Chain A
Amino acid sequence: MKRLIAGAALALMSLTGGAMAQDYPERPIMMMVSYGAGGATDFQARIVTMTAGNEDALGMPIAIINKPGAGGRVGWNWFATQADPDGYTLAAYNVPHFIAQSIKGGVEYSADSFEPIANWGADPAVFVVATDSQFNSMEDVVAHAKENPGKLTFSGAGLFVGHHIAALQIEKAAGVKMAYIPTKGGGAAAMKAVIAGEVMGGINNLSDAFRAQEAGNVKILGVADLERSEFLPDVPTMMEQGLDVDNSSVNFRGVMVPKGTPQEVIDKLAATVPEMFKNDRVAKKMQAGGSPMHVMTRDEVIEMWAAREQTLKELLAGL
């Protein structure tokens, strides 16, 4: 009997499936952010979704809900195991965070648990030192680290996040050992450690470092990305300074849905959402907040996730 009902339900669903996707979305959509209200991811998620209700976008508003905890693991665990794959539950992703966490284990998701929709932002990691620091380039940092192996302290926002990945890459590229100090409380705590002189340097988000440099608190020595940032045209990349560091540590932020969401819904979202991100009002607000935008389509994100998984597996293998 049970099987009969299930079968009937399944048949009904496949009948209505087409119609459902055509009308999608017919009610407001929820987007889960796995960090607290007021954090950079939450802040940006609210800006990029503020035009969702427009006729040329989804025609329905997107409401943000926060499920913070354990560096994002709580929210993504919930999304992978409990969210309905009906297109009305979206989530924000942070790469490399969730991929690194899934490689490290102890969570109920991997890159295969989710379907990317589009990417809105890319915040590269940068190397910062206090204004009165003796270091003026990455060369100085590496030279000091070579003379004092394991003694150069530098802060970052925890283990297995973009900052840690950048730290590992810098150490590997320069062939030196330094002391990476993970802080609790994210990038803000790591930045405070640099400004207060508790550590000799630090990895931080480009957007936060840019602000701190404007305030006259830090010097930015290098950007861990393939190209220079438009916010910091004078700061060279790591590669320009002879360190073989690619964009693996760049914090990509975007939208995804759970595996099992109907293909029609995914297609509709993948077509609309990148256009929604390109809205002028969104771009202006993001620019004002010092948040670098980087819109990518679904296909580009799929490629980026796969590439990231590859590099991170190699990088984290020894840990």
Chain B
Amino acid sequence: MEFIYYFGDVFSPLSFLLLLGGTIGGLILGATPGLSPTMAVALLIPFTFQLEAVQGLILLGAAYTSTVAGGAVSAILLKIPGAPANIATTLDGHTMAKQGQGAKALQLSFLASAVGGIFGVLLLIFLTPVLAQWALAFGPSHLFWLAILGVTVIGSLDSASVVKGLLSGCIGLWLATIGFDDIMGAQRFIFHPALGGGINIIAALIGLFAIPQVLTMFAKGRRTAGAEVIEVQKHSILAAMRELFRRPRALSIGTLTGSIIGLIPGVGGQIAGLVAYDQTKKFSADKDKFGKGHSEGVIAAESANNAMVGPSLVPLLTLSIPGSPTAAVLLGGLLIHGIFPGSDLFDNHPDVAWTFINSMLIGQVLMCLFGLYVAGLAARVAQVPQSVMAAIVLALSVFGAYSVQSSMGDVYVMACLGIGMFFLERFGFSAAPLVLGLILGPIAEANFIQGGMIADATVGKASYFLTGGLNMFLIAVVLASIAYSVWMELRARRHTTKEEAMA
């Protein structure tokens, strides 16, 4: 209960002003395509040079919290996921926006983010020592199986046919091998110098999601002279709250999945949203509505990606190991003030540690309030004529891809992937499984190689990867997930043949 004692510090005038500034600034940065939470926090570090340690961390904590949520804005309104965490949000969120329900989608996403986020931070406050042990329990073999579990999701994710889902997953896995291999340093498929560092995930996200959309808009714009105007429905915040609590399953699956997966160093943030989305879909009664603008999809994805924020800091704060790129940037922010995370932080600087954690808690609430305030206004973006919209999205895409690492190479990569995806979509392939392959490929590969090297020196590959409680459990989940997909596919086929027979 020590944290309550330090609540007062968050509300001192300067601290609160920074918290407010960090939250609002974070939402805007997060909503800007190409600016991932990691980038946003890194950009703010120089500002903290002049501040006290506590105040600097309040700014960074608030910015981290709200950039993750802010990513939902561009994901829903423009179909540009700001970071891998927001991919799942685009699937239903953007469809809702196109149906004129942008305000509702945004309100739901901010409310779900706040619920998930607060739960995650509370976990961080109360269960840190236990969670730290958990974070360490995942070694190379477990991470490998976890990535394989992700691969089994590929087939069923946002795709009419399992075969097409798996095929786009394979394209993603192949794209992931491009570049210098991280462990051995081998060069693979580097046709052009711009590919030396591999395909940047943010640039790929923008290309795969936004560009096909832009092309479609341009194609339409020429045919119809009077651009179609979507009527943006007003949606009251109260109704959004009722909607949220009518969907307790999506909210709880999202929050729990996000918290658990967020904890695992190196994997968490990127796939939390997608895994939560897939699980919610599997447990939902309205499976068919997913991908067509179903509110459960938005709720699950957004509660998951904000629930991950708190637990993702556990390895950093307790063990001094940054578990995610954003945590690594925060580590820099701590070090610059001479504070070492770990026992030193909680024993000798409890004011810094707890004020930082409290600021993330208050930040979640502020983020939600401010987000709800702008949701109605922002949703009007859908009224912009299509041809103008296409130009704006295109400009933002180029800007976003370039700004990731100030490189034109990334813009070319984005353009090529986008044009490729435009044609793939014509054949019924979708971008989400492809991106999942791109994210999971390196995780599975690196952990297999690393685990294999450890295994060869010690107990041998078979017993290293196949024995032990956690390995067995993960393998069982993988098998269950495959069996479920096969069963669903078979049932769906029987269904269609019956209907076809009737017709």
A interface residue numbers (CB < 8 A to B): 36-39, 42-43, 46-47, 50, 65-71, 73-74, 77-78, 81, 101, 104, 106, 108, 150-153, 158-160, 179, 181-185, 188-189, 191-193, 195-196, 198-199, 211-212, 214-217, 285, 287-291
Known A38-B38, A70-B196, A288-B335; judge A192-B342 contact (CB<8 A).
no
- Assess whether A73 is in contact with B180, with CB atoms less than 8 Å apart: yes
Known A74-B197, A217-B320; judge A288-B336 contact (CB<8 A).
yes
Q: How far is the CA of A158 from the CA of B406 in the complex (A)?
A: 25
Of all chain A residues, which has the CB nearest B49?
A50
Known A65-B406, A70-B196, A104-B185; judge A43-B335 contact (CB<8 A).
yes
Of all chain B residues, which has the CB nearest A34?
B197
Interface status of B332 (Cβ within 8 A of chain A): yes
Q: Which of B179, B341, B344, B453 contacts A181 (CB 8 A)?
A: B453
B315 contacts across to A, CB distance below 8 A: 192
CB 8 Å contact bits of B334-345 with A (1 = contact, 0 = none): 011110111110
Q: Name the distance in Å between B272's Cβ and chain A's nearest Cβ.
A: 18
Q: Name the distance in Å between B461's Cβ and chain A's nearest Cβ.
A: 14
B321 contacts across to A, CB distance below 8 A: 188, 191-192, 195, 212
Known A70-B196, A215-B340, A217-B320; judge A196-B136 contact (CB<8 A).
yes
Interface status of B182 (Cβ within 8 A of chain A): yes
Of all chain B residues, which has the CB nearest A289?
B335
B456 contacts across to A, CB distance below 8 A: 179
- Assess whether A211 is in contact with B454, with CB atoms less than 8 Å apart: no
- Assess whether A215 is in contact with B187, with CB atoms less than 8 Å apart: no
Q: Name the distance in Å between B212's Cβ and chain A's nearest Cβ.
A: 26
Interface status of B325 (Cβ within 8 A of chain A): yes
A71 contacts across to B, CB distance below 8 A: 180, 182, 185
Question: 14 A-B contacts, Cβ less than 8 Å apart?
Answer: A38-B329, A38-B330, A69-B196, A70-B180, A181-B450, A184-B450, A191-B321, A198-B140, A211-B320, A211-B341, A212-B321, A214-B344, A215-B344, A288-B337
B328 contacts across to A, CB distance below 8 A: 36, 38-39, 188
Known A38-B42, A106-B187, A214-B340; judge A184-B454 contact (CB<8 A).
no
- Assess whether A290 is in contact with B340, with CB atoms less than 8 Å apart: yes
Q: How far is the CA of A8 from the CA of B82 in the complex (A)?
A: 49
Q: Which of B46, B442, B454 contacts A153 (CB 8 A)?
A: B454
Q: Which of B39, B180, B405, B458 contacts A151 (CB 8 A)?
A: B458
CB 8 Å contact bits of B484-500 with A (1 = contact, 0 = none): 00000000000000000
A-B contact count (CB 8 A): 159
Q: How far is the CA of A154 from the CA of B371 in the complex (A)?
A: 48
Point out which of B41, B265, B315, B457 has the most chain A C-beta atoms below 10 A from its C-beta: B457
Q: How far is the CA of A50 from the CA of B49 in the complex (A)?
A: 10
Q: Name the distance in Å between A218's Cβ and chain B's nearest Cβ.
A: 10
A36 contacts across to B, CB distance below 8 A: 325, 328
- Assess whether A37 is in contact with B38, with CB atoms less than 8 Å apart: yes
Q: How far is the CA of A212 from the CA of B340 in the complex (A)?
A: 9
Known A38-B38, A158-B182, A215-B343; judge A70-B197 contact (CB<8 A).
yes
- Assess whether B341 is in contact with A215, with CB atoms less than 8 Å apart: yes
Interface status of B129 (Cβ within 8 A of chain A): no
Q: How far is the CA of A217 from the CA of B187 in the complex (A)?
A: 36
B180 contacts across to A, CB distance below 8 A: 69-71, 73, 106
B470 contacts across to A, CB distance below 8 A: none
Q: A38-B45, A68-B405, A184-B183 are in contact. List 15 more A-B contacts (CB 8 A).
A: A38-B328, A43-B332, A46-B45, A69-B405, A73-B197, A74-B196, A101-B185, A179-B454, A181-B450, A185-B182, A195-B136, A212-B342, A215-B343, A285-B49, A290-B340
Q: Which of B322, B330, B332, B406 contacts A67 (CB 8 A)?
A: B406
A150 contacts across to B, CB distance below 8 A: 457
Of all chain B residues, which has the CB nearest A185?
B266
Q: Name the distance in Å between B60's Cβ and chain A's nearest Cβ.
A: 11
Known A69-B198, A70-B179; judge A217-B319 contact (CB<8 A).
yes
Q: How far is the CA of A212 from the CA of B49 in the complex (A)?
A: 24
Of all chain A residues, which has the CB nearest B179?
A70
Point out which of A42, A43, A179, A287 has the most chain B C-beta atoms below 10 A from its C-beta: A43
Q: Which of A77, A153, A183 contacts B458 (CB 8 A)?
A: A153
Q: Name the distance in Å between B96's Cβ and chain A's nearest Cβ.
A: 34
- Assess whether A158 is in contact with B197, with CB atoms less than 8 Å apart: no
Of all chain A residues, which has the CB nearest B338?
A288
Q: Which of A68, A73, A183, A188 contacts B450 (CB 8 A)?
A: A183
Of all chain B residues, which has the CB nearest A68?
B405
CB 8 Å contact bits of B382-405 with A (1 = contact, 0 = none): 000000000000000000000001
Q: Which of B137, B196, B446 contacts A73 (CB 8 A)?
A: B196
Interface status of B105 (Cβ within 8 A of chain A): no
Known A38-B328, A46-B45; judge A216-B343 contact (CB<8 A).
yes
- Assess whether A215 is in contact with B453, with CB atoms less than 8 Å apart: no
Q: How far is the CA of A70 from the CA of B265 in the complex (A)?
A: 20
Q: Name the distance in Å between B93's Cβ and chain A's nearest Cβ.
A: 28
A153 contacts across to B, CB distance below 8 A: 453-454, 457-458
| CB-contacts of B49-86 with A (<8 A) | 49
Interface status of B350 (Cβ within 8 A of chain A): no
- Assess whether B198 is in contact with A70, with CB atoms less than 8 Å apart: yes
Q: Which of B42, B193, B340, B446 contacts A77 (CB 8 A)?
A: B193
Q: Which of B185, B193, B331 contacts A38 (CB 8 A)?
A: B331
A179 contacts across to B, CB distance below 8 A: 453-454, 456-457
- Assess whether A215 is in contact with B342, with CB atoms less than 8 Å apart: yes
Interface status of B407 (Cβ within 8 A of chain A): yes
B329 contacts across to A, CB distance below 8 A: 37-38
Q: How far is the CA of A204 from the CA of B49 in the complex (A)?
A: 27
B338 contacts across to A, CB distance below 8 A: 287-289
Q: Name the distance in Å between A88's Cβ and chain B's nearest Cβ.
A: 15
A189 contacts across to B, CB distance below 8 A: 265-266
B41 contacts across to A, CB distance below 8 A: 38
Q: Name the distance in Å between A274's Cβ and chain B's nearest Cβ.
A: 22
